[in-house]
Structure 1
Amino acid sequence: MSFTVASIPVPDLDAPLPQDILDLVEVERAHHRRLYGHEDLVHPARAVALGLTRQESTRRERLLARDDSGRAVGAAHVTMPVRDNQHLGFFFPSWDPTSGAPFDEVHDTLWAAAEHILTEHGRTSVSTWAMHPESDVEDGPVTWLEPSTGSGQVLEDRRARWFAAHGFTLEQVQLYSVLDLADLPAQPAAQGGVEGSASHTAYRTRVWEGATARGAARRDGAAAQPDERGYPDRRRGLRRGAVGRGAGCRARRAARGSGGPAVDHGRARPRG
């Protein structure tokens, strides 16, 4: 079995979405179902298309791998900062485990194409991250790997072995957990803000949506990340992208009592 990889061109947002983008999203759906158990973090096709048109601060390439029959079996997202850290590149592969295509061969094909792009743009350091769920470990003895920081562990599964074989080193470990909200009652939210229930009567929560949410989040300190503060056009681009995807914004603030200081805040932007 052989594979071909194509880089998806920047699409015309006024035209129907290209089939390559629709197929790429299906690959990522299968990839996420296997690793996360859900599809909540998959970018919808419209968001993928819009992202390819936003190249001001980050160069983006979307790669799609197909087998001999033309079936999409893998995908990769390659990104490169344009204005700073121009030695860095990022490589995020996806593989459809239901396709029957071998994991290693699909990843080898995607990496060969991605490495060519990264080298062509002068990138000398490449970062990635991958999920290593216990449910994805093959039968046999279990080996745990520690990052260079000495904090945390991951299972030595086929992803860890593949990345190690291609020159990647484990630098950092993050723990990922899922809280299923499907059975929890929804809390109302309004433009002007509403009070929500709290697990302890000493605390009050308040929720905002839309433009009001962004202002509320800034007032409570949930402003842009430090590395974004010097790039107002980057923040504007992110906001334009969210609007283009139809994504909203919801802010939450928890305080002690009705008028006390904030003890917790957060902001969520649902994917459109």
Structure 2
Amino acid sequence: MMNFSLVDVKSITSNEPRSNFAETDLENLADIIIDTGGIARPLVVKMTGVESYTVVDGHFEYYAAVIAREKNPRQCEMVNAFIISPKDEDKIFKQVAVYRRLDSENKAEIKTPIEENKNNSKLISKNNEFNLLEKQINDLRSELAQERQERQKLYDTLRLIENQIPKQITPLEAFNSLPLLELTFRLRTASLNDKKAVQIAESLEKERKKKKFESLKDVMERVKVTSGKKQIKGISGDKMVDIVDSWSRILFV
């Protein structure tokens, strides 16, 4: 079975020397490829590795495609080709051998008027095949361009939605950045009474003005509140766990 596909010219190699073909002929075909956007006779290639291929038939067209890509990398990056599967390789080689023998015999024959007419008919048929293939290539390019546009639109939409989603801040960022009133309210959500919440919030604001808190442990060590005549820790380890747990269910923006 053969799959028709567009293949990167850079991923293809040929075991037939380029010197077997006249450079003038290669240059002429390369210019035609650039003008038409593709080759009328697709390459027949087989896969030799991941995204690498070798030419089975169409060595002349391949080298012309290489020159076309050198002249116009953007337009001629890809070439249309039939990719043969390993299990069908022998069958395809037999077909290629038959076609090559026929081509060789046709070149050696002396053309009669009848043969000229046949050749003209073949030429017309080839032109029709070329036109059909050109249409298929253009349709494929249009589909690929449309697909790229749709993917870009989807990406832009997702990025817009992502930018509109409020970003959650961490408890440490909350301790370092929330205004005093907001901080007091958030502390109350962690089951602190009004007085204790106000004391801790005021101590937090006082300490963070001196230096930003570097960790939750730093918060517990530096935040003090008055209890009688003593200064004690405002937030114990257990209470910090309660605060973090409570705030994890609240979206800070």
**TM-score, length basis structure 2:** 0.20
By percentage of residues, which structure has more helix?
2
Greater C-alpha Rg: 2
Which one has a larger percent strand, Structure 1 or Structure 2?
1
Report which structure shows greater RCO (CA 8 Å, sep ≥6).
2
TM-score (norm 1): 0.19
